[in-house]
A and B are shown apart, each in its own frame.
Chain A
Amino acid sequence: MAAQVQFHQVQFHNVTLGYDRHPAVHHLEGEVPCGALVAVIGPNGAGKSTLLRGIVGILKPLAGSIDLGGLDARDIAYLPQTADIDRSFPISVFDFVGTGLWRSTGLFGGIGKPARDKILDAIAAVGLSGFENRPIGTLSGGQMQRVLFARVLLQDTRLIVLDEPFNAIDAKTTADLLALVKRWHGEGRTVLAALHDMEMVRNHFSETLLLARGPVAWGPTAEVLTAENLLVAMRMCEAFDDGAAACAVDDGRSQAA
């Protein structure tokens, strides 16, 4: 069983994440091995975004903990579902993508010739060569998504977290960006992506976490995406219950302890 000694990039220890004490993800246990390409799927409100927000440290767990395998939360490249980006701000594609170098430049670090080349390469890698000087406000939705991928590329992190990166993106752009995701996978980076497109998950992602407030199934994609599991996920109750009592699972645990 030598395979079990592999390193874990992310480990969930009985993690509960939520808002205002109401959990959105309940008692998640498990681990993401280094270099894994994991799809996180589930119906709307299943807690996919919440889980990813927890991983990158924007949301503190209500209970349990998330172990990042020694990685600082700031060393994760995170692409949120609805990026809160002020598109009217006068900043060029080049400068915007360049912010991905923050880890190496910080507050004052200069951006020399090597860094400039890196930025240009990243812009070229997402197929936006020639757009360097365009203000971000003039880009289309798909182009903006390419820009965000270029920034993730430039962040050059071991763990990449993508929250529904292909929403409202056309087939061509999706294919290009998916190729980039596979390239990251090939480079040994760990990639977690919240997705909706089952076909894409089946064809491109080796591992899947099916989420419905709690983990329904987690493992090799073919074993997770069974009709039975999906039905269980679909039945998930979405609404918060204002009158909900404190979680019984926790009670059981604390009494046992």
Chain B
Amino acid sequence: MLYDALIGPFTEFEFMRRALAAVIALALAGAPIGVFLMLRRMSLVGDAMAHAILPGAAIGFLLSGLNLFAMTAGGLIAGFVVAILAGVVARSTGLKEDASLATFYLVSLALGVTIVSIKGTNIDLLHVLFGNILAMDDQTLLVVAFNATITLVVLAVIYRPLVIESVDPLFLRTVSRAGGPAHLAFLALVVVNLVNGFQALGTLLAVGLMILPAGIARFWSRDLTVMISIAVAAAAVSGYAGLVLSFQTRVPSGPAIILVASVLYVVSVLFGSVGGLIRQMFPGRHLEA
């Protein structure tokens, strides 16, 4: 009975297996990126970038229909353009990164909406906005896996300067020139993972599988590597449970995954061992030293 509910869908249906593979790939790559977004106080930057991707994806959609490959390429280009322009403007002028990003993503979003409303009135467009992880073909799955692999490799390369830049940017500037490139590479990874996410979850929810697991991890550890591990696990569990939930009920898969993650998040806020609410309300007697 339990087997039928929890494992059955995946042994029985190939599309469920593909979806599970995709969501695990997303978890492996997206969650670490989310942790860094959160620690660098850029959680909403991810959200902004998700909107910035829209015109590229829309152009890809117009050119070749619901071809996820074309939409991914378009999304990547749009995202990179916005991320790099915003990063360059912020670094070469006094403007703060968030302000310059807000400008560029709003322009991008306006362009995207314009393109969509001129040409696309298709119901398929819902797929762009909300994704469909249950419709993964081989090609798309490979793209997702490829992007996830690239992400992990690049993250390993820039890990050290990225961490130091997050803690003490001025120090990194005085000892190395790696800070700027590391930051830009990180922004690029954010874009890659957002595009990856919107295959499965849509542009609007793509950020969810990055930020929610990071938020969860923050409540369970004070150590960066442990935090990243917890975030990946939380994302993978949310993905799996969301797929099961979606299969057994009529909840669409994307929202189901994010809803499961948000349940985990609420539990973490309440019971988390690092700054959780219950722990704060009943901290126990204070220690001797």
Q: Does B227 lie within 8 Å of A74, measured CB to CB?
A: no
Contacting residue for A83 out of B170, B173, B227, CB 8 A: B170
Which of B164, B175, B221 is close to A103, meaning CB atoms less than 8 Å apart? B175
Q: Are B223 and A90 in contact (CB under 8 A)?
A: yes
Query: Scoring A residues 69 to 94 as 1 if CB is less than 8 Å from chain B, else 0, what string do you get?
Result: 00001101010100111100111100
Measured CB to CB, the nearest residue on chain B to A85 is: B168
**Among A58, A76, A85, contact of B167 (Cβ-Cβ < 8 Å):** A85
Are B39 and A107 touching (Cβ within 8 A)? Answer: no
Q: Is A135 an interface residue (CB 8 A)?
A: yes
Tell me, in angstroms, the Cα distance from A174 to B39 when the chains sit together: 32
Nearest to B221 among chain A residues (CB) is A90
Residues on B with C-beta less than 8 A from A136 are: 167
Of B15-23, B65-73, B155-163, which binds chain A?
A: B155-163
Task: For A83, list chain B residues within 8 Å (CB).
Answer: 168, 170-171
Asked if A107 and B161 sit within 8 Å, CB to CB, the answer is: yes
For residues 143 through 193 of chain A, which have their beta carbon under 8 Å from a beta carbon of chain B? 151, 155
Collect the chain A residues with CB atoms within 8 Å of residue B223's CB. Answer: 90, 92
* Contact A90:B174 (CB < 8 A) given known A107-B157, A107-B160: no
Contact of A131 with B by CB under 8 A: no
How many residues on the A side are at the interface (Cβ–Cβ under 8 A)?
A: 27
The answer to whether A107 and B178 touch across the interface, beta carbons within 8 angstroms, is yes
Q: Does B169 contact A (CB under 8 A)?
A: yes
Whole-angstrom CA separation of A237 from B193 in the bound complex: 54
Give the interface residue-count category, chain B. 20 to 34
The distance in angstroms between the C-alpha atoms of A178 and B253, with both chains bound, is 62
The reply to whether A99 and B168 form a contact with Cβ atoms under 8 Å apart is yes
Instruction: From the candidates A84, A99, A106, name the one contacting B170 in the complex (CB within 8 A).
Output: A84
Query: Is A96 an interface residue when CB atoms closer than 8 A count as contact?
Result: yes
Give complex CA distance A99, B227 in Å. 20
Contacts of B163 in A (CB 8 A): 91
Q: Are B170 and A91 in contact (CB under 8 A)?
A: no
- Bound state CA distance, A74 and B177, in angstroms? 9
Chain A residues lying within 8 Å of B227, measured Cβ to Cβ, are 90
In the complex, besides A85-B171, A89-B167, A151-B171, 7 extra interface pairs with C-beta distance below 8 angstroms are A57-B174, A78-B171, A90-B221, A96-B167, A99-B164, A99-B167, A155-B175
**CB-based closest 9 A-B pairs:** A89-B167, A102-B175, A85-B168, A84-B170, A78-B174, A90-B224, A90-B222, A135-B222, A99-B164
14 cross-chain CB contacts under 8 A:
A57-B174, A74-B175, A84-B169, A85-B168, A85-B171, A86-B166, A86-B167, A90-B221, A90-B223, A90-B224, A99-B167, A107-B157, A135-B222, A151-B171
